Amino acid sequence: MSRERVAKTFDRWAEEGHAEGMEKGHGDVVDQVIGAMDLAPGEKVLDLGCGNGWATRKLAQANAGVQAIGVDCSPQMIARADELHSFTIRARYDFGFFEELEFKDGEFDRIFSMEAIYYATDLARSLREALRVLKPGGRADIVVDYYKEAPGTDVWPKQIGLDMASFSEAEWQANFEQAGFVNVTTRRVIDRRGPGDESEHEAEAWLRRVANHEAGSLWIQAEKPA
């Protein structure tokens, strides 16, 4: 799968307004994760696959002087992020690819990512790049809803029309360890708003939705050796 195809797909998502839908859908889980990240004043954080930058802006507002940089391979997502930007916060949105990040070694204190890393065309290389741009002792907080234990997600690659890296919770952990991360742990984050409104779904779809909500988002925490 080419990176251009990924970029084109998400350009279309941006044009069709899905970025704002993702903000609504992922908002509560991201609030929980960013809250628990406990960003310290002045830290520099990278948001991998920032989309329209809504989570990048939340990261920048998490504590005094936090600087957040979002990276995304979709020019339309980056354009949308620039439009939505607030000049009262220290945030920026760069076009770029996970596989070759245009940042110096050790540039970031922290890395965050929501629902993006499994689209990498080369996951091993992307994780090595994430490790490279982290400071020694820096931590990555990566969240994915697409993992083998999450019911009903196996149809996503076909629906979306893209290859997606499919791993179990244990396999995700192993991927980070193979890339050189240490203290890799995983946990599930449950959307506190519940599975949604039953009246808006067909019976079978509702059951899938409830099961998926119960499985939660997979939050992978990993550190660069000090």
Q: Which of 33, 66, 120, 189 binds ligand SAM (CB under 6 A)?
A: 120
Task: Indicate the residue among 31 and 207 with the shorter CB distance to ligand SAM.
Answer: 31
Q: Which of 45, 62, 91, 114 binds ligand SAM (CB under 6 A)?
A: 114
- Report d(CA 220, CA 139) in Å as an integer: 10
8-45 per-residue burial string, b: 16 or more CB within 10 A, e: under 16: bbbbebbeeebbeebbeebbbbbebbbeebebeeebbb
User: Is residue 4 packed enough to be buried (19+ CB in 10 Å), middle (13-18) or exposed (0-12)?
Assistant: exposed
In the complex, least distance from residue 31 CB atom to ligand SAM, rounded to whole angstroms: 12
| Contact window for ligand SAM (CB under 6 A) among 32-40, 118-126, 198-206, 217-225 | 118-126
Pairing type for strands 134-144 and 217-223 reads antiparallel
In the complex, least distance from residue 121 CB atom to ligand SAM, rounded to whole angstroms: 6
Give the sign of the dihedral formed by CA 113, CA 140, CA 183, CA 125: positive
Q: Which of 45, 80, 93, 97 binds ligand SAM (CB under 6 A)?
A: 97
- If binding is defined by CB under 6 A, does position 49 make contact with ligand SAM? yes
- DSSP code string of 141-210: EEEES-STTSTTGGGHHHHHTS------HHHHHHHHHHHT-EEEEEEEE--TT-S--GGGS-HHHHHHHH
Please count the residues of this chain forming the interface with ligand SAM, following the rule CB under 6 A.
24
- If binding is defined by CB under 6 A, does position 130 make contact with ligand SAM? no
| Contact window for ligand SAM (CB under 6 A) among 46-54, 85-93, 167-175, 177-185 | 46-54
- If binding is defined by CB under 6 A, does position 133 make contact with ligand SAM? no
Structure tokens at 111: 């890395």
Q: Which of 73, 123, 184, 215 binds ligand SAM (CB under 6 A)?
A: 73
Task: Indicate the residue among 122 and 207 with the shorter CB distance to ligand SAM.
Answer: 122
H or E element, residue 213: helix 203-215
Chain residues that interact with ligand SAM, rule: CB under 6 A: 3, 6, 10, 22-23, 26, 49-51, 55, 71-74, 77, 97-99, 114-116, 119-121
